[in-house]
């Protein structure tokens, strides 16, 4: 079974996603119906415990029904956590706050049965990803071909090690984190501080030189267009909470003026 997210970014296409902070299977189905390519589920800052694989099974099912892909931010690159989430059927995961290439290599290895010509650390499971849907004689090949792990570059330590990080085989993508970068660079909250902007440009350029797709968060249509022009391929364009707030507040304003 194909992972449309990984296939698209490997083909050089752009994918558009939205965050679901409600972790509602229904919202995920609606996103799919709308044509949203990926659903950002954030287990770094919120969410049910990722150790509960049944939560991921429900959410993965909703994504399959809706025709979209889950894009799961884990709280850390702990290999035991990565394996659990993949075994429930999730295929796109990413790790926040990475510091070193070694840490990135360990995380990628946890997603692969074979990594860089050596045995990987994925681990043979008999969970949902194997017994249903993705199952079959070619389970191992399919998983290694379709699972995708990325990292967030949002720490100065990672920026310093960026070339080594980008040379880790099978790294799927880099997502840029301007907010944490602003904190780490001593300009907390100032995402448009010239030094932060310059660092983001450097990260983007290094990733593209290494042929690693990049992702950013943009909600303004002009900024989305500019991000695509800058070569970013993974763009988060909104989310459920912000959409609820803006739609209902506009509607209430309209009702009040009747």
Which structure tokens are listed for 162? 């960026």
Interaction partner, residue 135 (Mg ion, ligand 3PY, none; CB < 5-8 Å by kind): none
Beta carbon of residue 51, minimum distance to ligand 3PY (angstroms, whole number)? 22
For 64, phi then psi, to 5°, come to -65, -45
Number of C-beta neighbours around residue 89 at 10 A: 23
Q: Can you tell me the distance from the alpha carbon of 52 to that of 227, in angstroms, rounded to the nearest whole number?
A: 35
- Candidates 99, 180, 190, 230; binder of ligand 3PY (CB under 6 A) is 180
Instruction: Count the residues of the shown chain that bind ligand 3PY, applying the rule CB under 6 A.
Output: 7
- Contact characters 206-245, ligand 3PY, x per CB under 6 A: -----------x----------------------------
- The angle formed by the CA atoms of residues 66, 69 and 72, to the nearest 5 degrees, is 130
Burial 181-201 (b: 16+ CB within 10 A, else e): bbbbbeeeebeebeebeebbe
Q: Note whether 214 and 234 are within 8 A (CB).
A: yes
177 is a site residue for ligand 3PY (CB under 6 A) = yes
Of the pair 73, 128, the CB lying nearest Mg ion is at 73
C-beta separation of 237 from 31 below 8 A: no
| Contact status: 177 vs Mg ion (CB under 5 A) | yes
Residue nearest to ligand 3PY (CB): 177
Q: Candidates 75, 125, 179, 210: give the one binding ligand 3PY (CB under 6 A).
A: 179
* Binding-site ranges for Mg ion (CB under 5 A): 154, 177, 180
* Binding-site ranges for ligand 3PY (CB under 6 A): 152, 154, 177-180, 217
């Amino acid at each position: 079974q194909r992972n449309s997210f990984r296939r698209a970014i490997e083909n050089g296409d752009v994918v558009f996603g939205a965050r679901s902070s409600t972790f509602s299977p229904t919202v995920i189905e609606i996103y799919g119906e709308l044509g949203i390519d990926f659903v950002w589920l954030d287990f770094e800052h919120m969410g049910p415990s990722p150790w509960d694989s049944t939560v991921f099974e429900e959410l993965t099912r909703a994504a399959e029904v809706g025709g979209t892909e889950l894009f799961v931010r884990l709280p850390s690159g702990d290999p035991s956590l990565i394996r659990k989430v993949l075994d429930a059927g999730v295929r796109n995961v990413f790790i926040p706050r990475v510091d070193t290439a070694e840490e990135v290599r360990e995380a990628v290895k946890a997603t692969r049965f074979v990594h860089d010509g050596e045995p990987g650390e994925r681990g043979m499971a008999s969970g949902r990803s194997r017994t249903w849907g993705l199952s079959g004689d070619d389970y191992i090949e399919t998983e290694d071909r379709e699972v995708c792990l990325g990292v967030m570059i949002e720490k100065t330590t990672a920026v310093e090690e960026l070339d080594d990080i980008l040379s880790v085989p099978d790294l799927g993508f880099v997502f840029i984190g301007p907010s944490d970068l602003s904190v780490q660079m001593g300009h907390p909250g100032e995402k448009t501080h010239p030094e932060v902007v310059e660092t983001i440009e450097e990260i983007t350029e290094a990733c593209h030189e290494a042929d690693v797709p990049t992702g950013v968060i943009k909600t303004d249509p002009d900024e989305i267009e500019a991000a695509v022009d800058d070569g970013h391929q993974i763009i988060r364009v909104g989310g459920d909470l912000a959409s609820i707030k803006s739609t209902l507040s506009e509607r209430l304003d309209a009702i009040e003026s009747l």
